Structure 1
Amino acid sequence: MGLVDYTDIRHTLSSYGGPVGTDFSPRYYQIEQALRRRIAGRRPHDPLPSETELCAEFGVSRMTARAAVQRLVAENLVYRVSGRGTFVAEPPTRRRAENLVRFSEEMRRQGRKHSSTLISAELRPATDQEANRLILPNPATVVEIRRVRLADGIPTVLETAVFPSELSELLRVDFARDSVHATLIALGRTPTRGHSSIRAAVADEAEAGLLDVSPGTALLTEVRLITDQNGQPLELTESRYVGDRYALDVAFEVDSSGASTP
């Protein structure tokens, strides 16, 4: 990528309208965020400003402008065509199934606005299945957090997350502002590894109301168990995605062990 012109850092983006000194983030990052907002309002294959145009607009070096665009290329938000310029890519609405990226981070990468609506947050008795998967004594108590995650104001996933009761500090999280995973890390429990299963489902009447779809709408349901840095069960979550608003990509290898069998 090369060295970024950090002499630009303390300058202010005139298009942001802020006084000098109010934004000390790197200039390439400021340009990157501005481009993300533009991408969100454009269609796939629409052209974006050239590096020369970005240099003139934001008052930066070509190397700084190139660094901002390259970060978007790396995330498949834009693509370049030699001799023609940079264009908006098809929206990346998929997640690799073998990777877990926080929903808020997925939306940020896509240049979309993330928000959450809290449905409930409470301590309650654990079910037998929850106690087994979280390796809890039976009977046990768990923290349950239920919320709808939205992308650009559109309900996309109904999420029910269950945690061991010693993590009751999660009940104090401001879900409009704070991250559950960041809170877990602050409590000394870092989400590290996980396993998930995926199946098809349909929305019942209550789910349909929360997700703003018709009852019977196809849902993609993912149940995942996340462990912490010590291999201890940390989170058991069921995410119910609206089928036409979300998808998972799967990378796989072909099992050829039975290739000689007719």
Structure 2
Amino acid sequence: MPKTPVWRAIATTLTDEIAAGHYRPGDKLPTEAELAARFGVNRHTVRRALSDLSDQGLTHARRGSGVFVLAEPTDYRIGKRVRFHQNLTEAGRMPTKRVLTLQTRPSDQDEAAALQMPQGAMVHVYEGLSLSDDTPVALFRSVFPAERLPDLDRHLTHFKSVTKALRAAGVSDYTRASTRLTAKTATATQALQLGISEGAPILRTVGINVDMDGQPVEFGHTWFVGDRITLVLDDQVAGNP
């Protein structure tokens, strides 16, 4: 009778421990060095076992951080009011944002069309990383009309929240006018920022938010990690092209 490969035996042990609740969703597994010492094998064997867990959909690796047990995807509502902090808080998660860039520059053709302004008009561009319980779940890029909202960049630096920054700039409320959803695969840069593999599935949303007078105030792109977020569309948005 053929012997079970050592890497498979290690993978089975770890799978059983995850199933038994020794490692909960979101927990970090021991390092390769720690597992190698535990099982008395080299790190290559451990790496093969961890790769099998990933293939089973039980874990994911974050570059520079380690291997983590996959958590249940977080429901993220796409409706008339899309609010990052509110969505994650309602799902029982801790939302945070990490600012990557904030700049003011001339608009391109798509940005100008979405914001109903001449091409080349100045816009504030806010790019960042959205995290749930310290796990990256999305990259975002939001574009705002700079002439109408000249101080918005300062408010975004202070608050990091789009809702609070717009309120401070004089936009008391805003709603989603349109949303487009597209399945994509992660580029090398996106994979590095999100802690996933290049080519992993992601979901891109492209949305336009308008103020209470129907004037566009934000043109946004968000790239969600496919296995960490479940997008939930309400009836109003599901009917949009």
Which consecutive unaligned segments of at least 5 residues does structure 2 have? 1-23, 26-70, 237-241
Tell which has more relative contact order, 1 or 2 (C-alpha 8 A, sep 6+): 2
Q: What is the count of residue pairs matched by the alignment?
A: 166
The aligned counterpart of 1:195 is: 178
- Counterpart of 1:239 (choices 199, 222, 236) is 222
Tell me the amino acid that sits aligned with residue 220 of structure 2.
Answer: T
For each residue in 1:62-118, what CA deviation from the matched residue of structure 2 results, as whole angstroms up to 9, or x when unmatched? xxxxxxxxxxxxxxxxxxxxxxxxxxxx96822343343311111211222111111
Task: Point out where structure 1 has 5 or more consecutive residues left out of the alignment.
Answer: 1-41, 44-89, 254-262
Identity %: 32
- Distance apart, 1:191 and its partner CA: 1.1
Residue 176 (structure 2) pairs with residue 173 (structure 1)? no
Say whether the 8 Å CA contact 1:193–1:228 is kept in structure 2.
Answer: no
CA distance in 1, matches of 2:169, 2:99: 21
Higher strand share: 2
CA positional deviation for 1:174: 5.7
Counterpart for residue 163 of structure 1: 144
- 1:232-252 C-alpha deviation (Å, 9 max, x unpaired): 011000000000001112455
**Do the aligned residues in 1 keep the contact of 2:103 with 2:126 (CA within 8 Å)?**
yes
| TM-score, normalised relative to structure 2 | 0.63
Distance 1:232 1:111, change over 3 A: same
SS in 2 for 1:131: helix
Aligned to 1:213: 196
